C-alpha cells in the first residue's frame, strides 16, 4: 500500500473546466448536498479500508518565518492574490498509483450548483515512505 | 506469560473453533475478542491453562454472536460431543489458517492485514498503528478480507509460495509503532518452517535473519542510511547470522533452489566478509545469474550490474547496466554509483540528484542528496 495526498486548491493548477460561482453563492440545499456528498465519500473510503485523513483549510493564512535570535517571528500576509491557495486535502492508503488516480477522479465529481459535478482539479502527490528492510 | 507467547496461541485457538464448526470470520472475531480480554486481565489474573482459557472465552463469544441466528442448544450439544484437540490437528489447522490469510483472491495489503491479525495475533489497533492508518480503516480492511475468503473451504490446500510472499511483505515494512514487524515476520516464518518441508521457507527465513542481523548497523542514530560497505561490521548480530547461514546451508544441500534461497545466499556472502574489501563479488555475480534465471526480474539485473561493477570494474558494470530497462526504480542511483567509480564525477553528481528526486522514501532521498552534494563539492574543487 502507498499513501497519497489529494490536494484541493482554491486557486492554482490548470484552468477550471467548469465555471461555477463560489460556494457562498450556491443555494443552501446545493451546499448541503455538496457537504453530505463529501461526508459519504469519506465513509465509502473507510469501508474500502483506504481512508487515512481529510481536512479543510480556511481560505486565509499568514506566512511566518524565523526573525533572528531573541526576536519574534516575522509574519506576512494574508495575500489576496497568492497564486496557489490550498483548500484542503484527502489522504488515502491504496494498493496502486492507478487506484489513487481513480479515487481522485471520483472525488472531483462532487456536486455543485444544480447537482452538476464540479470537476475541480485535484493534485495527487505520493508520500515518501520508510525505507524497505531489504534494500541492497 | 508475555504478549508474544499469548499471540503464539491465537492461530491454534481459531483452528479449534473452526474445527468445532464455527465459520472462519465469526471465529476469528471471537478470538480477537478473547485476545483483548486476555491482554486486559491476564497481567493481574494469570490463568492456569492459557490456551484452555482462550478457547473457552472465544467459544463463549462465538456462541453469543451466533445465538440470534441458530439454535444454541444444538450447538452446545455438538460442543459437548467434541473430543479435545490433538497436537497434530493443531498444526494442520494453523498451517491452514496461513493459507487462508494469504489466499490469492486477496490483495497484498489485505492478506498482510489478515495474516497479522488471524495468525500473528496482533490487535487491529496495533496493525493500524504499524501501517499508519486509522483503526476504523484497518478494521474495515480486515473485515473485507474476511468476506473475500468466506467462500474458501477451510481444508482447501494452499500454496506455500503465497504465504511466503505475504511474510516477505511484512518483513520489508520494517517497524513503526509499538510492533516490530520484522521480528514478527521472522517469528511467523519460523512457525511455518516448523510445519512444512519446503526449502524456500528456509530460504526466506535465512534471508530475513541475515538482513535483520545487520539492522542496527544500517542506520545512524538519527536515521540516516549507512551503505553496506561503510557499515560497522562489529555491530552485526553474529549469532543471528550463524543461525541464518546454518538454515540456508541445510536448505541448499537439498538441491531445490528457489529465489529466496538465492537471495539469502547473496546476503550470506555479504555477512561472511570480515571487511567490505573481502566480499566475494565473483560468487555474488554467480548468484545473481541464478536469480535472473529463476525470476526474470529487472530489479535483479539492476543489482547484478552493481555486483559486476565490483567484481570486474566499473566499465563492466556499466556494460551490464545497459541490459537493464532505464525505467526500473533506482536505475539512476546505480548508474550514478558506477559513473563515480568510472571517474565521471560531474555526471555521477547529476545522476545522484535525479535519483534523489525519484526516491520513494525519505532515508534514501537524503542519502542520495548527500552523495550528490559530496560529488558537487569535489567537482567545484
pLDDT, tens digit, for every residue of A17-31?
Answer: 888 888 889 999 999
> Is pLDDT of A103 > 60?
yes
Give pLDDT, residue B5: 86
Q: Which residues of A touch B (CB under 8 A)?
A: 1, 3, 46-53, 93, 95, 126, 128-136
Report pLDDT digits (tens) over A110-132: 999 999 999 999 999 999 977 76
Q: Cell numbers for A60, please give them.
A: 486565509
CB A134 to CB B207 under 8 A? yes
Cβ-based contacts of B113 with chain A (< 8 Å)? 49
Query: Is the Cβ–Cβ distance between B292 and B304 less than 8 Å?
Result: yes
> Is pLDDT of B28 > 90?
yes
CB B131 to CB A93 under 8 A? yes
Residue B223 confidence class, pLDDT cut points 50, 70, 90:
confident
> Is pLDDT of B81 > 60?
no
Phi and psi (nearest 5°) for A89? Answer: -150, 160
Query: Is the Cβ–Cβ distance between A5 and A91 less than 8 Å?
Result: yes
* Spatial distance between the Cα atoms of A113 and B17, rounded to a whole number of angstroms: 55
What angle (nearest 5°) sits at the alpha carbon of residue B132, between those of residues B129 and B138? 70
Q: Cell 478480507 identifies what position?
A: B145
How many other C-beta atoms can be found within 10 angstroms of the C-beta atom of residue B44? 6
CB B303 to CB A136 under 8 A? yes
CATH code of the region A2-14+22-59+74-126 = 3.30.70.1060
> Is pLDDT of B71 > 70?
no
Give pLDDT, residue B147: 94
Where exactly are the structural domains of chain A? 2-14+22-59+74-126
Which residues sit opposite A2 in a β-bridge? Answer: A94
Give pLDDT, residue A53: 95
> Is pLDDT of B83 > 50?
no
Interface test with A, best of B109, B137, B185 (most A CBs within 10 A): B137
Cβ-based contacts of B223 with chain A (< 8 Å)? none
CB B171 to CB A134 under 8 A? yes
CB B140 to CB A131 under 8 A? no
Report pLDDT digits (tens) over A42-83: 999 999 999 999 998 887 888 999 999 999 999 988 777 767
Nearest chain A residue to B182 by CA distance is: A133
Phi and psi (nearest 5°) for B103? Answer: -55, 140
* Spatial distance between the Cα atoms of B18 and B30, rounded to a whole number of angstroms: 11
**d(CA B172, nearest CA chain A) in Å:** 5
**d(CA B158, nearest CA chain A) in Å:** 23
Q: Which of A86-95, B59-68, B282-291 has the lowest mean pLDDT?
A: B59-68
How many angstroms separate the Cα of B124 from the Cα of each of B127, B132, B342? 5, 12, 51
- Predicted ipTM of the assembly: 0.83
Which of A86, A121, A114 is CA-nearest to residue A30? A114
* Spatial distance between the Cα atoms of B309 and A92, rounded to a whole number of angstroms: 40
Amino acid at each position: 500500500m502507498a499513501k497519497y495526498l489529494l490536494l484541493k486548491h482554491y486557486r492554482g493548477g490548470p484552468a477550471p473546466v467548469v465555471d461555477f460561482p463560489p460556494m457562498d453563492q450556491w443555494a443552501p440545499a446545493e451546499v448541503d448536498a455538496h457537504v453530505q456528498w463529501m461526508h459519504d465519500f469519506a465513509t465509502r473510503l473507510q469501508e474500502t479500508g483506504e481512508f487515512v485523513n481529510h481536512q479543510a483549510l480556511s481560505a486565509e493564512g499568514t506566512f511566518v518565518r524565523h526573525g533572528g535570535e531573541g526576536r519574534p517571528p516575522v509574519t506576512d500576509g494574508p495575500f489576496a492574490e497568492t497564486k496557489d491557495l490550498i483548500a484542503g486535502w484527502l489522504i488515502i492508503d491504496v494498493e496502486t498509483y492507478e487506484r489513487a488516480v481513480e479515487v481522485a477522479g471520483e472525488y472531483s465529481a462532487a456536486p455543485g450548483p444544480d447537482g452538476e459535478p464540479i470537476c475541480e482539479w485535484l493534485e495527487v502527490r505520493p508520500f515518501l515512505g520508510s525505507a524497505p528492510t531489504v534494500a541492497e | 506469560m508475555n504478549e508474544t507467547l499469548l499471540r503464539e496461541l491465537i492461530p491454534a485457538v481459531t483452528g479449534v473453533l473452526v474445527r468445532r464448526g464455527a465459520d472462519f470470520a465469526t471465529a476469528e472475531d471471537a478470538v480477537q475478542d478473547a485476545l483483548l480480554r486476555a491482554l486486559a486481565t491476564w497481567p493481574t489474573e494469570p490463568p492456569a491453562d492459557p490456551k484452555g482459557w482462550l478457547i473457552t472465552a472465544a467459544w463463549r463469544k462465538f456462541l453469543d454472536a451466533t445465538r440470534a441466528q441458530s439454535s444454541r442448544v444444538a450447538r452446545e450439544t455438538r460442543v459437548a460431543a467434541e473430543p479435545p484437540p490433538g497436537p497434530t490437528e493443531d498444526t494442520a489447522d494453523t498451517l491452514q489458517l496461513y493459507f487462508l490469510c494469504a489466499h490469492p483472491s486477496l490483495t497484498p495489503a489485505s492478506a498482510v492485514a489478515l495474516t497479522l491479525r488471524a495468525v500473528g495475533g496482533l490487535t487491529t489497533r496495533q496493525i493500524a498503528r504499524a501501517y499508519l492508518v486509522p483503526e476504523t480503516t484497518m478494521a474495515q480492511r480486515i473485515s473485507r478480507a474476511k468476506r473475500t475468503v468466506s467462500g474458501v473451504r477451510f481444508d482447501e490446500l494452499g500454496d506455500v509460495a503465497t504465504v511466503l510472499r505475504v511474510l516477505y511483505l511484512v518483513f520489508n515494512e520494517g517497524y513503526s509503532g509499538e510492533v516490530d514487524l520484522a521480528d514478527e515476520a521472522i517469528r511467523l516464518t519460523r512457525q511455518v518452517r516448523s510445519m512444512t518441508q519446503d526449502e524456500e521457507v528456509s530460504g526466506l527465513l535465512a534471508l530475513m535473519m541475515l538482513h535483520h542481523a545487520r539492522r542496527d548497523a544500517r542506520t545512524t542514530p538519527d536515521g540516516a542510511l549507512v551503505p553496506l560497505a561503510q557499515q560497522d561490521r562489529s555491530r552485526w548480530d553474529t549469532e543471528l547470522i550463524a543461525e541464518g547461514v546454518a538454515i540456508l546451508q541445510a536448505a541448499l544441500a537439498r538441491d531445490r533452489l528457489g529465489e529466496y534461497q538465492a537471495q539469502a545466499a547473496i546476503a550470506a556472502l555479504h555477512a561472511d566478509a570480515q571487511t567490505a574489501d573481502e566480499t566475494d563479488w565473483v560468487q555474488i555475480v554467480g548468484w545473481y545469474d541464478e536469480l535472473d534465471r529463476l525470476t526474470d526480474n529487472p530489479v535483479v539485473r539492476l543489482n547484478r550490474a552493481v555486483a559486476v561493477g565490483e567484481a570486474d570494474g566499473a566499465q563492466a558494470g556499466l556494460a551490464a547496466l545497459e541490459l537493464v530497462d532505464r525505467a526500473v526504480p533506482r536505475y539512476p542511483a546505480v548508474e550514478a554509483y558506477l559513473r563515480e567509480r568510472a571517474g565521471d564525477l560531474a555526471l555521477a553528481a547529476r545522476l545522484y540528484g535525479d535519483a534523489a528526486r525519484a526516491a520513494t522514501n525519505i532515508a534514501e532521498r537524503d542519502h542520495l542528496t548527500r552523495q550528490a552534494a559530496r560529488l558537487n563539492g569535489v567537482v567545484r574543487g
